[in-house]
Amino acid sequence: MIRRLFKRKRKSREKTDVVIPQANLSKNLRMDPLSLITVDRGARISASPEHDVPDAPKTPESEVLEVPEIPEAAEAPKSSAIHEVRSMRDNERLKYMDLQEDDSIRLLALDPGEENDPVSCHLFLTSLAKGLKYEAISYVWGDPIARVDIRVNGKLLGVTPNLRDVLKQVRSRTESRLVWVDGVCIDQENTQERGHQVRLMAALYQNAQSVLICLGRDEAGQEREAAKTIDT
């Protein structure tokens, strides 16, 4: 029997670098798509020691943006609340009582105080016929638009800064002082009353015990010269 001997040429195993999509790999082998691996012909798939397989980057999850809380807009005050605030402010302001008689006037009782104390006083109705003893004040108005508040009967009244300074200057430190001054004793917002009191102006000054003439702050030191001029 003739035996035919076949000499099989043993093929050497060669290693070849092959790019295999991840979809064809074993599920247990976690690698990136198109990762470089080494395949032995006729053998199992194994990772090549010559090539480092990078870790698969984690797919970034959807970023959750924290939106800062927007403070709720303050509710606009209701009309009733606005009316209440205005009413409160109005209640803080002095309201003049109407003059009752043809010779009705108002006199001002200045509360005592030190130079830097706020001005506080009391206003009341009377008449020229009653003959009360008072002093009349004549002063320089200054800027008629500028206003500062003083306390009259516990309420606020806006007067010129010059008048506020005059009242501070003439008030006593120890006792009340009764005066008449147009900026407080006449309702300056009542045109009819102003006309009526102007007609009584001569009698007001004639019936006063004395008339205090205030020329403002003596910043230039001319008080004595002014007094001499008045005396002559």
Q: Give tens-digit pLDDT for 54-113.
A: 555 554 554 555 555 655 655 655 555 444 444 456 678 999 999 989 999 999 999 999
pLDDT-wise least confident of 33-47, 50-64, 175-189? 33-47
Transcribe 52-80 into DSSP letters: --PPPPPPPPPP---PPPPPPPPPPPPHH
Pairing state of beta strands 135-139 and 177-180? parallel
Dist. CA 224–CA 214, nearest whole Å? 13
Determine the pLDDT at residue 3. 47
Answer yes or no: is pLDDT of 31 > 70: no
Dist. CA 134–CA 203, nearest whole Å? 13
* Confidence (pTM): 0.59
DSSP alpha helix (H) spans, 3-102: 79-92
Helix H or strand E segment including 196 = helix 191-199
Q: Establish how many alpha carbons lie within 13 A of residue 80's alpha carbon, considering only the half-sphere containing its beta carbon.
A: 0
What is the percent of the chain with per-residue pLDDT over 70, rounded to a whole number? 55
Determine the pLDDT at residue 168. 95
Answer yes or no: is pLDDT of 215 > 60: yes
CA angle 124, 128, 134 (to 5 degrees): 65
Confidence of residue 194 (pLDDT cuts 50, 70, 90): very high
Determine the pLDDT at residue 56. 52
Neighbour tally for 67: CB within 10 Å: 6
Note whether 189 and 113 are within 8 A (CB).
Answer: no
- For 33, 37, 39, the CA distances from 56, given in Å and listed in that order, are 9, 14, 20
Q: For the chain, what is the mean pLDDT? A: 75
- Domain ranges (residues) in the chain: 15-46, 99-231
Give the residue-averaged pLDDT of 202-211. 96
Range from 9-23, 63-77, 122-136 that averages highest in pLDDT: 122-136
